[in-house]
């Protein structure tokens, strides 16, 4: 059982927006929430860090937010290449980092 | 080009030991700590801990403390993960990862390609 709770699946049609949630007490305690995209057989790729920040090269179609103990990743203008599993992570204190169980995003 | 290149897949028997290597290139190895992450197939990643690359001081996640060892060969810009006694529950993909452009932000923007470890009798 993961320390952070994510819905197992999400879906949307090309061009639409989809939002994925991530809930846990560490999300509310710290502003160190990150989101990763993982395609099958590949390493995770950082998409958002510190709740809302995007690394260089990540499209602004990916945006993050947080309210209380729940963080969210919104993917706008869905594209076929966005189909992947998305994981959230959060700093949990005492140098500990926890991950969610993942949400498989399907582009219909 | 900044890269983390890990050693190849492993097939081990229960009770055997394992060492996974992670060779860094394209940057100053001692500038960024190295983290290790485990991912059981079909599950979310698990952070195993990190090792400071300037003084080789490790910090292990509670779930792995006492079962794993991190080490370095700074002259070879290589980090190692050792599991002295494997069980079938150690079957997973192991990643080395670090924070470069996002240093200090508790996020990881550089990853190795992963090492698949299968433990089976």
Nearest residue in A to B4, CA atom: A43
Q: What does the pLDDT read at residue A3? A: 84
Consecutive sets of 10 residues in chain B, 121 residues long: mean pLDDT of each? 97 97 96 97 95 95 96 97 97 96 88 98 95
Give the per-residue pLDDT at A1.
62
Please report the sign of the dihedral spanned by the C-alpha atoms of residue B118, residue B65, residue B59, residue B72: negative
Nearest Cα residue in chain A from B6: A43
* pLDDT attached to residue B72: 97
Q: What's the gap between Cα B69 and its chain centre?
A: 10
Cβ B45–A44 below 8 Å, yes or no? yes
Is A35 an interface residue toward B (CB < 8 Å)? no
Return the pLDDT at B102: 83
Sites in chain A below the pLDDT cut of 50: none
To test the contact with chain B by mutation, choose from A97, A100, A101, A102 the residue with the greatest count of B C-beta atoms within 10 A, namely A97
Quick check: A2 and B106 CB within 8 A? no
| Residues in chain B closer than 8 A to A95 (CB atoms) | 50, 59
**For tokens 């204190």, what's the residue?**
A93
Which whole-number Å values give the CA distances from B99 to A106, B36, B110, in the listed order? 29, 12, 6
Residue B3's H or E segment, with its range, is strand B3-6
A28's enclosing H/E stretch is helix A25-29
């Amino acid at each position: 059982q993961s320390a952070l709770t994510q819905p197992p699946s999400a879906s949307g049609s090309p061009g639409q927006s989809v939002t994925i949630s991530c809930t846990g007490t560490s999300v509310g305690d710290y502003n160190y929430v990150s989101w990763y995209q993982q395609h099958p057989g590949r390493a995770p790729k950082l998409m958002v860090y510190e709740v809302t920040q995007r690394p260089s090269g990540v499209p602004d179609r990916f945006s993050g937010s947080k309210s209380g103990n729940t963080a969210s990743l919104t993917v706008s203008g869905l594209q076929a290449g966005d189909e992947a599993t998305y994981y959230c992570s959060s700093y949990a204190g005492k140098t500990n980092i926890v991950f969610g169980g993942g949400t498989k995003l399907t582009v219909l | 080009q900044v890269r983390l290149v890990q050693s190849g897949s492993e097939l081990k028997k229960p009770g055997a030991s394992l060492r996974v290597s992670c060779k860094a290139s394209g940057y100053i190895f001692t500038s960024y700590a190295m983290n290790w992450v485990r991912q059981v197939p079909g599950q979310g990643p698990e952070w195993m801990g990190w090792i400071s690359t300037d003084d080789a001081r490790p910090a292990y996640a509670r779930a792995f403390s006492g079962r794993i060892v991190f080490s370095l060969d700074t002259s070879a810009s290589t980090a190692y993960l050792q599991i002295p006694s494997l069980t079938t529950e150690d079957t997973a993909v192991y990643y080395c990862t670090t924070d470069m452009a996002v240093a200090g932000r508790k996020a990881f923007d550089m990853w190795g390609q992963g090492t698949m470890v299968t433990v089976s009798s």
